[in-house]
């Protein structure tokens, strides 16, 4: 599903360089990525999502070499294959719950042609316990509910790959646990591969395996 080889990435004017000699994640796996702050966890997710392109090495997802694609092609790839969950949810406050869930279809022309319609939104929202709140403005939701909306938005296009960046980072421990369980459950139901970055080592047991990015980088020069 995901293959990274000899990947090197450095932001402009940054002294730190992310190095990933080799990383493989199989389809359907639920993988947690841990590392100290600033080690490049989010950057790694962005490389896998095709948001960033490495300066060296190869990133292949579903057999597609992302480094070889242009910006538009990587965007389309992202729309079709990747669902993204952000730490601070990044919902649009001027849209209601249903519109936020459906947002990928509203903003991507290619995806719009495959819009499953309101029924799919309702079904997914019901699975996430948001069935009664579809027309509610997101600013009137609790943090936990917002995270559930963000999960639904990531899953609406039925992506093969779900990338979650600190999905419980903005939630209290109890709510975070509930959100993670939902994330894992929805990933299972939708048969998505899940790669989640987390600080919370207490949650690692819920994943199939854990990748320590610091250890991974230290294995050898990329």
- Pick out residues in 38-67 that bind other proteins (CB under 8 A): 49, 51
Letters for 136-175 (x = contact with other proteins by CB under 8 A, - = none) are -----------------x----------------------
State the DSSP string of 124-174: HHHHTT-TT-TTSBGGGS-HHHHHHHHHHHHHTT--SEEEEESTTTTS-HH
Q: From the CB of 140, what's the least distance to other proteins, in Å?
A: 13
Q: Which of 1, 20, 111, 216 binds other proteins (CB under 8 A)?
A: 111
Helix extents (H) in the chain: 41-49, 71-81, 97-101, 103-107, 109-112, 118-127, 143-155, 173-189, 213-218
For other proteins, the closer of residues 197 and 216 by Cβ is 197
Using CB under 8 A as the binding rule, whether residue 197 contacts other proteins is answered as no
Q: From the CB of 176, what's the least distance to other proteins, in Å?
A: 21
What three-state secondary structure class fits 71? helix
For other proteins, the closer of residues 55 and 88 by Cβ is 88
For other proteins, the closer of residues 16 and 94 by Cβ is 94
Q: From the CB of 84, what's the least distance to other proteins, in Å?
A: 6
- The 8-class DSSP code of residue 76 comes to H
Q: In terms of Cα–Cα distance, which of 193, 194, 197 is closest to 211?
A: 197
d(CA 12, CA 161) in angstroms, rounded, equals 28
> 25 to each of 2, 170, 205, 208, how far by Cα in Å?
5, 26, 17, 11
Instruction: Measure the CA dihedral 141/144/150/152, to 10°.
Output: -100
For other proteins, the closer of residues 114 and 209 by Cβ is 114
For other proteins, the closer of residues 96 and 212 by Cβ is 96
d(CA 215, CA 162) in angstroms, rounded, equals 23
- Pick out residues in 69-108 that bind other proteins (CB under 8 A): 72, 75-76, 78-79, 84, 86, 90, 92-95, 99, 103-108
Q: From the CB of 197, what's the least distance to other proteins, in Å?
A: 15
For other proteins, the closer of residues 112 and 219 by Cβ is 112
**Pair type for strands 64-65 and 56-61:** antiparallel
Instruction: Catalog residues that contact other proteins under the rule CB under 8 A.
Output: 49, 51, 72, 75-76, 78-79, 84, 86, 90, 92-95, 99, 103-109, 111-112, 153
């Amino acid at each position: 599903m995901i293959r990274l080889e000899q990947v090197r990435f450095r932001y402009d004017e940054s002294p730190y360089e992310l190095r990933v000699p080799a990383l493989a994640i199989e389809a359907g796996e639920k993988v947690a990525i841990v590392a100290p702050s600033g080690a490049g966890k989010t950057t790694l997710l962005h490389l896998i999502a095709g948001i960033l392109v490495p300066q060296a090495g190869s990133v292949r997802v579903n057999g597609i070499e992302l480094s070889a694609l242009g910006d538009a092609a990587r965007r389309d790839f992202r729309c079709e294959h990747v669902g993204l969950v952000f730490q601070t949810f990044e919902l649009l406050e001027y849209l209601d719950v249903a519109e936020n869930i459906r947002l990928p279809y509203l903003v991507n022309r290619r995806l719009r042609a495959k819009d499953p319609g309101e029924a799919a939104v309702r079904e997914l929202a019901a699975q996430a316990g948001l069935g009664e709140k579809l027309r509610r403005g997101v600013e009137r939701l609790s943090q936990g509910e917002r995270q559930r909306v963000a999960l639904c938005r990531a899953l609406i296009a039925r992506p093969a790959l779900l990338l979650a960046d600190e999905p419980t980072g903005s939630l209290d421990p109890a709510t975070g646990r509930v959100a993670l369980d939902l994330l894992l459950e929805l990933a299972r139901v939708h048969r998505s591969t899940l790669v989640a970055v987390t600080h919370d080592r207490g949650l690692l047991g819920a994943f199939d395996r854990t990748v320590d990015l610091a250890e991974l980088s230290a294995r050898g020069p990329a």
